Amino acid sequence: MILEANGLEVRYPAAQRSALKGVGLTLGAGELVAVVGPNGSGKTTLLRALLGTLPLVAGEVRLLGRPLGSWRRREIGQQVGVVTQREESLFPLRVEETVTLGRYAHLRPLARLRESDRAVVAEALRRADVAELAERRTDTLSGGEWQRVRVARALAQEPRLLVLDEPTASLDIRHEMEVFELVRRLAEQGIATLLVTHHLNLAARYADRLLLLHQGTCAVVGPPATVLRSEVVARVFEWPVAVTALSDGAPQIVPLKPGEKPEG
């Protein structure tokens, strides 16, 4: 297993109840798992707990079989690539320079880039489909290009585990699909991939398994067809929905208008 977590509990200072309680997860190489759930259900908190940036009240996280607490940040940076929700770009770099930041965890301080580092960067640019943007400045990119550049930077870390927190927020259909296609491709190349998203329908089509969070606990986990059942989704999201299925069997959620009845 690349990532194993069980019984995770997180409580923010001065909070009444735990933001996360009793959540577990396993993730193997080549697997794509999507974390879904309403706003405030603990999705980002779960990611932070899994990445060791929040103190745990209870539970344990193991990365590559080793307790996360025994890892140094630099070592984690050599195994785990993360695309966070937000990031500041105070002083815009060129795309290639930005992606090269992904090599820092592999470099000694002040050491020059080796040929192998340049090769990894070039490969990351190619895999994320941003090679032709290499010389552009990051402040001239569109939202979709910028997200793919950040995925390329995470790939330059040569990660065994890739974590993405809502990578398609505010992207249009084409750019959203491009990101999902890219993430799926990377998982198929063997990277364990964890994705937080609000897109239930795309998650159902691209993820191997879904983890549905509800008020900080795991409501259901499993293949999309077993998780996205109308009564479960309606209860968790507090809104009536109908579920249809695509020809490949992926369930698709249709939120209902008040008073509307599901067809059939």
Partner 1 sequence: MIRGRWPGLLALSLAACLAGLALGAVRLPPSAVWAALADPSAPVATIVREIRLPRVLLGFLVGGSLAVSGAVLQALIHNPLGDPYLLGISGGAALAAVLVIAVGVGGAWTLPLAAFAGALLALGLVYRLSLVQGRRLDAHILVLAGVVVSAFTGALVAAILTVSPAGRLRNAFQWMLGGLGAASWESLAVVAAYSVVPLVLLGWQSRGFDLLALGDDAARHLGIEPERLRRMAYIATGCLTAAAVASCGIIGFVGLVVPHAIRLLWGPLHRALLPSAFLLGGAFLVLADALARSVAAPVELPVGIVTALVGVPLFASLLRRSIR
Q: Is 101 in the site for partner 1 (CB under 8 A)?
A: yes
Q: What angle do CA 158, 164, 170 make, to 5 degrees?
A: 135
Q: In the set 7, 53, 67, 245, which binds partner 1 (CB under 8 A)?
A: 53
Q: Is 254 in the site for partner 1 (CB under 8 A)?
A: no
- Binding residues among 134-163 for partner 1 as defined by CB under 8 A: 153, 157
Q: Is 91 in the site for partner 1 (CB under 8 A)?
A: yes
> Of the candidates 1, 32, 2, 72, which has an alpha carbon nearest to the alpha carbon of residue 210?
32
| Cβ at position 43, least distance to partner 1 in Å | 15
Looking at the Cβ atoms of 87 and 238, the one nearer to partner 1 is 87
To 10 degrees, what angle do helices 173-188 and 143-156 make? Answer: 10
No. of H helices and E strands in the chain?
A: 9, 12
- Binding residues among 65-84 for partner 1 as defined by CB under 8 A: 73-74, 76-78, 80-82, 84
Q: Is 87 in the site for partner 1 (CB under 8 A)?
A: yes
Q: Is 192 in the site for partner 1 (CB under 8 A)?
A: no
- Binding residues among 21-40 for partner 1 as defined by CB under 8 A: none
Stretch that binds partner 1, among 33-41, 96-104, 189-197, 243-251 (CB under 8 A): 96-104
How many other CB atoms are found less than 10 A from the CB of residue 77?
18
Q: Is 86 in the site for partner 1 (CB under 8 A)?
A: yes
Cβ contact 75:106 at 8 Å: no
- By CB atoms closer than 10 A (0-12, 13-18, 19+), residue 170 is exposed
* Dist. CA 176–CA 53, nearest whole Å: 27
* Dist. CA 32–CA 209, nearest whole Å: 7
Looking at the Cβ atoms of 73 and 257, the one nearer to partner 1 is 73
Cβ contact 213:219 at 8 Å: yes
Q: Is 252 in the site for partner 1 (CB under 8 A)?
A: no
Binding-site ranges for partner 1 (CB under 8 A): 13, 51, 53, 73-74, 76-78, 80-82, 84, 86-94, 97, 101-102, 104-105, 107, 109-110, 153, 157
